[in-house]
Amino acid sequence: MLRAIEFFQELYGPIIDRGGNMITTVTLNAAIDKTIICDEVERRGITRSREALAVAGGKGINVARAIFKLGGSVTATGFAGGHNGLLIRRMIEAEGIHHELLDIEDNSRMCLAIIETNTQSVTEIYDPAPMVKQEEWDQLMDIVRRLAGNSQIVTLNGSLPKGLGNDAYYQLIGLMKRSNPECKVVLDTSGEALREGMRARPFMMKPNKNEMEVLLGHPLSSYRDAIEGVNEVMGHGIELVVLSLGSDGVVFGYRGEIYRVDPLSGVEVQSTVGCGDALVGGIAQKIVESGDIVEAVRYGVASATSNLTSKTQANVRREQVEEFFRHIEVKQVC
């Protein structure tokens, strides 16, 4: 049997030390992401999986993995507690991803994704979120303030643990803007945390279709609705709004102009889980590399497309991303 470190090196490639810290990702609700692949779940019976994989997860950790795999310099921070927290830390260390995860008393989550190949469907089951104490939140805010002082981009990803108010991201964005006004903040969350966080005007938001519908309070039934929705969010002072539409690609707005990126056809899909995180990671990495925002979104879609070809979250391959990047087009729509 392979030891953990060998397993991860086989899965992700050799550990490379890249100093510096250009991008920080924040995961307040880190998890062990377990994926089970089976033909079909036997309800009220025993299902024997064909394959089972477990990786460190939570959306910000996935974003950090995508950036790391694309050759970027990234630090993952957030909360990781209890026995699951120990394992999360050990797993991302084995991958070679730099982290400053804060140890908390309560146990981090295990999240289960069941891929049924007969129906090509994914079912996800999440443990309850851990409880965060006030002093743990205060410590994390100090870590984020310090890391933001040294980062070009900070991404805030995923749901909130228990014990924090819906304004948690609002608070983090405010303190980062004060500590480093040059730092670009990316917000990718849902529900009230997204609505509250938007008030602090992050540089970029990446809602998916469902998150955007909840934010706007009405369904997006057409392409025109999507464009109007992106415009509306830009109107709240968000410079870059990337609306991801799953197999329909991306509609994004940057400084008042709207663009669309269609997906590549003919890509063999292994799993769609983590596509949004690979998209955010690709965008962040290209912004640091080139500073060109439209090119960065195009690169993000290449990264999301590479994620489709992997069974685990945000396990993108750089050469494949570069290849997809050559074929993906951005069209300005208005």
Ligand X SMILES: Nc1ncnc2c1ncn2[C@@H]1O[C@H](COP(=O)(O)OP(=O)(O)OP(=O)(O)O)[C@@H](O)[C@H]1O
**DSSP-H helix ranges across the chain:** 4-12, 59-69, 82-95, 134-148, 168-179, 191-198, 209-216, 223-234, 275-290, 293-308, 318-327
Q: Helices 191-198 and 209-216 meet at what angle, rounded to 10?
A: 70
Piece in contact with Mg ion (CB under 5 A), picked from 20-28, 50-58, 204-212, 301-309: 204-212
With CB atoms as reference, the residue minimizing the distance to Mg ion is 276
Amino acid letter, 74: V
Note whether 247 binds ligand X by CB under 6 A: yes
C-alpha distances in Å from residue 325, one per residue of 13, 161, 264, 302, 328: 22, 36, 10, 5, 5
Piece in contact with ligand X (CB under 6 A), picked from 67-75, 77-85, 191-199, 276-284: 276-284
**Sheet of strand 330-332: strand arrangement:** 98-104, 74-81, 23-27, 153-157, 184-188, 204-205, 240-244, 250-254, 257-261, 330-332
Q: What is the DSSP letter of 29?
A: T
Note whether 273 binds ligand X by CB under 6 A: yes
Piece in contact with ligand X (CB under 6 A), picked from 16-24, 195-203, 225-233, 297-305: 297-305
Note whether 262 binds ligand X by CB under 6 A: no
- Among 283, 289, 288, 321, which Cα is nearest to 303's? 321
Rounded Cα distance, 201 and 213, in Å: 19
Contacting residue, 91, 164, 204, 245, with ligand X by CB under 6 A: 245
Shortest gap between Cβ of 316 and ligand X (angstroms)?
11
Q: How many residues bind Mg ion (CB under 5 A)?
A: 2
Contacting residue, 94, 104, 215, 275, with ligand X by CB under 6 A: 275
Residue 300 — φ and ψ, nearest 5°?
-60, -40
Shortest gap between Cβ of 168 and Mg ion (angstroms)?
17
Sort strands 51-57 and 31-38 into parallel, antiparallel or unpaired.
antiparallel
Shortest gap between Cβ of 206 and Mg ion (angstroms)?
7
Note whether 276 binds Mg ion by CB under 5 A: yes
Note whether 249 binds ligand X by CB under 6 A: yes
Note whether 67 binds ligand X by CB under 6 A: no
Piece in contact with ligand X (CB under 6 A), picked from 77-85, 100-108, 128-136, 303-311: 303-311
How close are the terminal C-alpha atoms of the chain, in Å?
A: 56
- Sites for ligand X among residues 155-214 (CB under 6 A): 208
Which residues of the chain form contacts with ligand X (CB under 6 A)? 208, 244-247, 249-250, 263, 269, 272-277, 279, 301, 304-305, 308
Which residues of the chain form contacts with Mg ion (CB under 5 A)? 208, 276
